[in-house]
Structure 1
């Protein structure tokens, strides 16, 4: 099946006057900010075009290849090359880039603003990058009421609303989708009134208490969570807004990559509901997490990342380059971690129970 890369080939020569912004364009706007544009896209209110930003990025990252990290989509950089040369996207303006990593605070945050030709400002939050600290913060969404990147996202949206005029769409993929929802639901009503949509692309959900906040209740009808047919990440914790299930060419974790989502002309191919496998897995993991108190969740996260950081690796890519001997030592450390072992056993038990319940329906 075709995907968003094929869409750029099909529609890249058509202006937005000819074909207005559609849901595939919106996903592409969300993905533009995945590389580190520090020193390329201005941090303030000045702008550069997609063509300028992408050209400068590859000029200063000649060894970038086609990957942004161990588990980053292999389609992101090829997509950027395509849109930078296309009539449709090349002159779109970008501004307000920020990239922030603070290991001591378990904080990883990045965002930019995309100026759509129809006058809408897309405030786009990047998801978890290749850094180990970024993945630890991602896991802490199940532990803490607020993680540092969520506070950063709220502050960024407030800054963008003050800096740029016009309507706003807030968006993000993976953890970036969670940040988009959090920011939109925690800013002032005055800013919320300018927000047309919040688009969360397979991002993890929230603790149940978040759905009871007044800010969420004001925004919930404008929030859409897009997930692949066999979603895993996007079904973690409690989902928000309207759920929109997309047909994908890859299953499981691989389907988290939005470039595996199937496209027909200028739209995603939608499904009526999630796959049974997704429902079974997510019922199991939700129940396993619910059985743990906050201290047990915190200890689980600390156990996992204590092992990862013991290698001295800063990124998952560096971690993956460990020698065979070191890898075996790490596997043994993981095997001995009590909270991790307990969680995995509980997850397996809940998974079997969930599958049996599904079969009996």
Structure 2
């Protein structure tokens, strides 16, 4: 069985960064840190520092914490952090968590003081709120989305208050925010950024890739995707990406806890697999065939249908799946004729792109199905 970040934290937990320098696995651990429910124990925007050990101890002792974390593995993660000399003395501050249904915003970040000379700015990815997923989909037709603007504002404020150099990272949408904030902050702040970590985060519209700020920061961006990546292959990337072996299948490979580790690095592969290539081709072709108005109409309609269930989170949606499915089907039936027709056209476009993608898999030597 392949080793994961928990094994790494056991192997390297007693070694300080002066004994073993910061590496990509450390980067993913600090990116995962941003998903923890700091709002239970920390005030937002506070400059007061708390060590990772203090944070972990408080969260582990918090009533019903098992139901308050996003993934069940986060409990083991907290215990590993608590007992790790490598991480537990790091200091946390400047926690921000903003969810706004009106502006369709989900944004969260925290800053970690690695040592006296370096900070790690960690952006949270999409949580389990429907608002968070809606903002992700908005990236297909809105530039910038509110979370991206908040990410730039956050990194500028941290840079103005602290003199240390910075590492910036995140997973999923957090990876996108890490790259975006590094690309659109001031050039003076960019010069203080040592590396940007994007762990299976979506790319950008071509408009972003052409901006001078993105071009300046591009060579500092390290993007990691699993072999069957879906989220990380969405939209466009200019920077190179590194393929990490995951022990999961399909979409579940997005889970950082499934990424394989050997000693101080990830187990890497030469190429993404055929599933990822097929999905990448299909989704890009589908999105390219839709104008911005069609994309917006589709996303808004699907979100409206989901909210008819009165669910606020993906967990709530899944919790009563049968009744929620009936509610959504009824909502589709109740759509006005122009909206229902537009929705049908988008789905037909997806079906067409899927057929073409399958054909490409069959005839293209680089996409031979194994």
Question: What TM-score comes out, normalization by structure 2 length?
Answer: 0.91
1:347 lines up with 2:347 in the alignment: no
| Residue 64 (structure 1) aligns with | 65
Aligned length: 357
| Residue 223 (structure 1) aligns with | 221
| Residue 47 (structure 2) aligns with | 45
Gaps of at least 5 residues in structure 1 are none
TM-aligned CA deviation for residue 317 of structure 1: 1.6
Matches within 5 A, 1:219-258: 219-258=217-256
For 1:255-307, what per-residue CA distance to the aligned partner results, in whole angstroms no more than 9, with x for missing partners? 01111111111100111111122111111111111111111101111111101
In 2: Cα distance, 1:140 partner to 1:121 partner: 30
TM-aligned CA deviation for residue 340 of structure 1: 4.3
**43-52 or 297-306: which moved more?**
43-52
What RMSD over aligned residues (CA atoms) do the two structures have, in Å? 1.8
In 1: Cα distance, 2:226 partner to 2:35 partner: 20
In 1: Cα distance, 2:94 partner to 2:181 partner: 16
**244-253 or 183-192: which moved more?**
244-253
TM-aligned CA deviation for residue 197 of structure 1: 0.9
| Structure 1 contact 67–74 (Cα < 8 Å) conserved | no
For 1:230-274, what per-residue CA distance to the aligned partner results, in whole angstroms no more than 9, with x for missing partners? 100000011242211111111221001111111111100111111
TM-aligned CA deviation for residue 332 of structure 1: 4.9
TM-aligned CA deviation for residue 319 of structure 1: 1.9
| Residue 7 (structure 2) aligns with | 6
Question: What TM-score comes out, normalization by structure 1 length?
Answer: 0.93
In 2: Cα distance, 1:179 partner to 1:333 partner: 33
Q: Cα 1:21–1:307, aligned 2, differ >3 Å: closer, same or farther? A: same
In 1: Cα distance, 2:46 partner to 2:262 partner: 37
| Residue 56 (structure 2) aligns with | 54
In 1: Cα distance, 2:38 partner to 2:287 partner: 36
TM-aligned CA deviation for residue 39 of structure 1: 5.9
Gaps of at least 5 residues in structure 2 are 365-370
| Structure 1 contact 303–339 (Cα < 8 Å) conserved | no
Matches within 5 A, 1:221-300: 221-300=219-298
**102-111 or 4-13: which moved more?**
4-13
